[in-house]
Amino acid sequence: MPILFAVVLTDLIGFGIVIPLLPFYGMHFGASPLVVTLLMSTYSLFQLFVAPLWGGLSDRHGRRPILLVSLAGSVAGYLWLGFADTLWMLFAARAVQGACAGNIAAAQAYVADVTTPENRAKGMGMIGAAFGIGFIIGPALGGTLAGSDPVSPDIVSPAFLGAALSALAFIGTLAFLKESLPEAARGARRTGRLAAGSRALRLPALRLLLLLFFAIVFAFAGMETTFALWASAQFGWGALQVGYLMTYVGICSALVQGGLIGRLTRMFGEERLLLAGTATIAVGLLAIPLSSTLLILVVATGLLAIGMGMTQPAINSLISRRAGASEQGEVMGVAQSFGSLARILGPAFAGALFGGFGRNAPYYAGAALMALVLATAFRLLPRGAPSLASDAPHGMHERKR
């Protein structure tokens, strides 16, 4: 687990480096708010189609080979991004990175291989903590290298640094990470992306969790991809300031997912954390348009980070515990596809609202969606309900019999 954490963290630092830069680089080429958000979601569009494939391949051939292939693809994508000098090249580079993004689903399946059901949320929190720390270090590095000019950021240096970090993660995986999936547990069947998703959606509890996951990521992705545009319009910020604020968000997220999630899960259970996290996200989204000062903005974005820090490990754990031992990669790949679809549609929806109704519209809409999610979660996952883990969880094939 420590080696996996180090590998995922190194790769995610590289991922976090370019996030504050892309909106400004898109605007540098004259892109509208909608086109900027489409640029941000291109990664997820291509990830949508390949995440279940990578997950299924990891169930058949092991987690380590998939991690190696996906990291090599990340290196290629960052290099292309560094050499981009037109808008279409930015889109192409992000497409390559998304198509090779099998590392997170494989890493989550790796965690499921080496943890017990009781410790699953804590293990998933380790992946979440890597995200958090990656978004502490990455945006700060990217913002510093790119500079504070919103018109002409330096995209080349951050992109090449991202390539170097993914290459380092590749070397670490190759040299130090042992395979977690025993030969006997590897499935010989070949399940298509649509078949895997269809089978998962036939299970009511898993279907509910996937839909809730989709809605939460939809709202958060809309905020994430329009925030640089919002901050530029509200405060005149460039990549440097946006990167520093994202670093703060990463700190808050890492504290929750890396230090508190195990204790919180034991005290309250995943279902209650899901409810509390959703409510916190809703408040944070509602507070962003009211942020007339930096202090209010810090509080609002901190609430968002804490809410996602509670929600993501809880819902990933619940989804994982609904899958059989030989289906972890496949099911987590399906979940990643739902997340990818949300990261495609959420930014496009938010970009259209931003351009058509003003910079605050995406956040009001996101808060309203979270209120709907919260109401649904209270009705279908009521307070005091037993954990899904106690509801005799089995694999998808076993539940069909």
How much is the average pLDDT of 182-188? 60
197-225 tens-digit pLDDT: 666 666 666 778 888 899 999 999 898 88
Q: Which domains does the chain have, with CATH numbers?
A: 2-179+193-396 (1.20.1250.20)
Q: Are 319 and 300 in contact (CB under 8 A)?
A: no
331-358 tens-digit pLDDT: 777 777 788 788 889 988 999 999 889 9
* pLDDT for 335: 79
Q: 187 falls in which pLDDT band (50, 70, 90)? A: low
Q: Are 13 and 165 in contact (CB under 8 A)?
A: yes
Q: Which of 262, 3, 22 is nearest to 130 (CA)?
A: 3
Statement: residue 301 has pLDDT above 90: yes
**The residue to which tokens 């080429």 are assigned:** 29
* pLDDT for 282: 94
82-120 tens-digit pLDDT: 888 888 898 998 888 888 776 677 777 777 777 776 676
Statement: residue 325 has pLDDT above 70: no
* pLDDT for 79: 92
Q: Which residue would you say has higher pLDDT here, 73 or 48?
A: 73
User: What's the mean pLDDT when you consider all of the chain?
Assistant: 79
Structure tokens at 294: 């930096």
Statement: residue 384 has pLDDT above 50: no
Give CA separation, 324 vs 158, 200, 270, 274, 385, in Å: 40, 12, 19, 22, 22
End-to-end Cα separation, the chain, in angstroms: 34
Give CA separation, 287 vs 33, 283, 297, in Å: 22, 6, 8
Per DSSP, helices labelled H in 62-203 are: 63-83, 87-99, 103-114, 120-146, 156-176, 193-201
Q: Are 81 and 18 in contact (CB under 8 A)?
A: yes
Least confident of 19-33, 110-124, 226-240: 110-124
How much is the average pLDDT of 78-83? 89
Q: Could you give the CA distance from residue 105 to residue 123 in angstroms, rounded to a whole number?
A: 13
Statement: residue 318 has pLDDT above 90: no
Residues 6 or more apart whose CB falls under 8 angstroms from that of 254 comprise 129, 132, 133, 136, 309
Least confident of 128-132, 135-139, 222-226, 363-367: 128-132
How much is the average pLDDT of 17-35? 81
Statement: residue 296 has pLDDT above 90: yes
Structure tokens at 389: 């883990």
What is the b/e burial string over 372-389, where b = at least 16 CB atoms within 10 angstroms of the residue's CB?
A: ebbeebeeebeeeeebbb
Q: Which residue would you say has higher pLDDT here, 97 or 398?
A: 97
How distant is the alpha carbon of residue 4 from its chain centre? Answer: 17
Least confident of 15-29, 62-76, 293-307, 314-328: 314-328
Give CA separation, 390 vs 176, 214, 400, in Å: 36, 24, 18
